[in-house]
Amino acid sequence: MDNLTKPLAGKKVIILGGSAGIGLATAKLAAAEGANVVIVSSNQQRINNALTGLPQGSLGFAVDLSQEENIKTFFENIGKFDHLVYTAGENLRLDIIARTEIADAQKFFNVRFWAAFTAVKYGAPNINDGGSICLISGTAAERPGAGWSVATSICSAMEGFVRAMAVELAPLRVNCVMPGVIKTNLWDSMSETDRAALYKAAEDTLLLKRVGLAEDVALAFVYLMKQKHSTGQNVIVDGGGLLV
């Protein structure tokens, strides 16, 4: 397996938010490409469960990503690596601004944006030449709806951050994946009825006529790790949702 046909073979990939959903799907796909995978999340039991589906030798660490010191310590101890993927985030709760508590809105930024910002700060110095950072956003910045004020703000902030880091950290590559509606635990805070309605609306309107899966988004993360001539890019994986 050479670097051209298997560019992730033997590479160390750290995935923050890697114990479930898109992060775990990315870990599995990267491992299948020969990468040595390290998953991180706040829940040890989810990590243990995730490791049963990953190759022997994969590692998992429980880290509270809401605390800067925890992220700093993790990267101080992990050593050199090749790719950083950040997919962590609390379940989304959507509501109109009149019913949004400012303190709650600020909390959503802690893990979805500020923890990613912190991971880049402390993780970037450890990334080997030719490595990359891949963050996660969403299509809400491009197509907001009523009740999406917090989610749209986070997505917009992340996409600007990616472009800024691509310039500041060059030649380290910094990119982002923007999923549309994807079937993951992201929507678990919604009622089963509301969640089913969300998926049905997506199926009826998307050009590809199906809701995306975590594996669809994982393909984009792995592509960005392997693509050596792209940086500052926000790659959309939404089934054509922004076109309708």
Catalytic residues: 137
Q: Give the H/E segment covering residue 196.
A: helix 192-205
Query: CA 119: distance to chain centroid?
Result: 12
CA dihedral sign, ordered 6, 126, 38, 89: negative
Contact 233, 131 (CB under 8 A): no
Contact 35, 3 (CB under 8 A): no
Give the separation between CA 140 and CA 90, rounded to whole angstroms: 16
Give the separation between CA 25 and CA 18, rounded to whole angstroms: 8
Contact 63, 86 (CB under 8 A): no
Tokens matching residue 75: 């990267």
Q: Give the H/E segment covering residue 214.
A: helix 214-226
Tokens matching residue 11: 């590479």
Tokens matching residue 18: 């890697």
- Cα atoms found within 13 Å of the Cα of residue 172, Cβ hemisphere only: 21
Radius of gyration (Cα) for the chain, nearest Å? Answer: 17
